[in-house]
Homo-oligomer: A and B are copies of this chain.
Amino acid sequence: MSTVFEEIKVEKVSDKISEQIVKLIVDGKLNPGDKLPGERQLIDVLGVGRSSLREALNRLETLGYIEIRKRKGNYVKSIDATLQLDPLKGLIQADLRKIVQLYELRRDLEQASAYNAALKRTTEDLKRIKETLIAFRRQSGAARFSWSADQDFHLAIAQASQNFLRVHVISNIFEFSEEFLAPVIEEVANQRDNQSIIAQQHEAIYQAIADQNAELAGKRMDEHLCWTNERLIELIDKNQGI
């Protein structure tokens, strides 16, 4: 029975309007830089109320299709800017210090990651982790901090924990935080000591995983990330003050 009837969808007026305008842009009837007719003119042509029209225009603006210039008019935008609507990004932008919460989350996951890796790692996993360790040491000789080598280590452990979701989520966190921290993270390289401290911590974690000592692996990972987070907070506070 349930397959016989279709749900009746009520489409908002503003949806139809924005669909139509997007179609015009896609079809090339409206080109970047073109000025749309004034709002009062459009509501006549479209036969809708101004609030619906404005709702549509507003959505188109936040989606990046048009640009609303107060007291000047509405213009079609060139869609060169990759329209990214990552809600999380907006949230963190609202308060950079919130990124600490993201890193707290990371600690939750990575602590478990190391714990489970110690229990479930294969010898291949272990070998892969070892390789990332060597790569990190090698690259830390260079002037700048090698973020990607650091990430490789953590991701290798996540893989060893035999949970593809964990890898996925942790990798997401890396990707996400990179663009926020890229401007400040370079400072880490200035304090050259940090590099070797991190390397030592990594090696200690590796050792615990190799020994299949889950408790210790988890504990060391937690301490490692606590230490990292503290450095991070220092950095942010310093740059925030400017």
Interface positions of A (Cβ within 8 A of B): 10, 19, 22-23, 25-26, 51, 54-55, 58-59, 62-65, 70, 79-91, 94-95, 98, 101-102, 104-105, 107-109, 111-113, 116, 163-166, 168-169, 172-173, 176
Q: Are A83 and B169 within 8 A (Cβ)?
A: yes
Q: Are B104 and A163 within 8 A (Cβ)?
A: yes
Considering only CB atoms, which chain B residue lies closest to A97 in the complex? B26
- Judged by DSSP, the binding face of A is helix
Knowing A26-B98, A94-B19, say if A82 contacts B105 (CB, 8 Å).
Answer: yes
Q: Which of B58, B80, B163 contacts A101 (CB 8 A)?
A: B163
Q: Are A105 and B109 within 8 A (Cβ)?
A: yes
Bound-state Cα–Cα, A164 to B92, Å? 11
Q: Are A94 and B22 within 8 A (Cβ)?
A: yes
Q: Which of B10, B22, B26, B58 contacts A58 (CB 8 A)?
A: B58
Q: Which of B65, B109, B168, B176 contacts A109 (CB 8 A)?
A: B109
Q: Are B85 and A62 within 8 A (Cβ)?
A: yes
Q: Are A65 and B82 within 8 A (Cβ)?
A: no
The residues of B that contact A63 with a CB separation of less than 8 Å are 62, 85, 87, 90
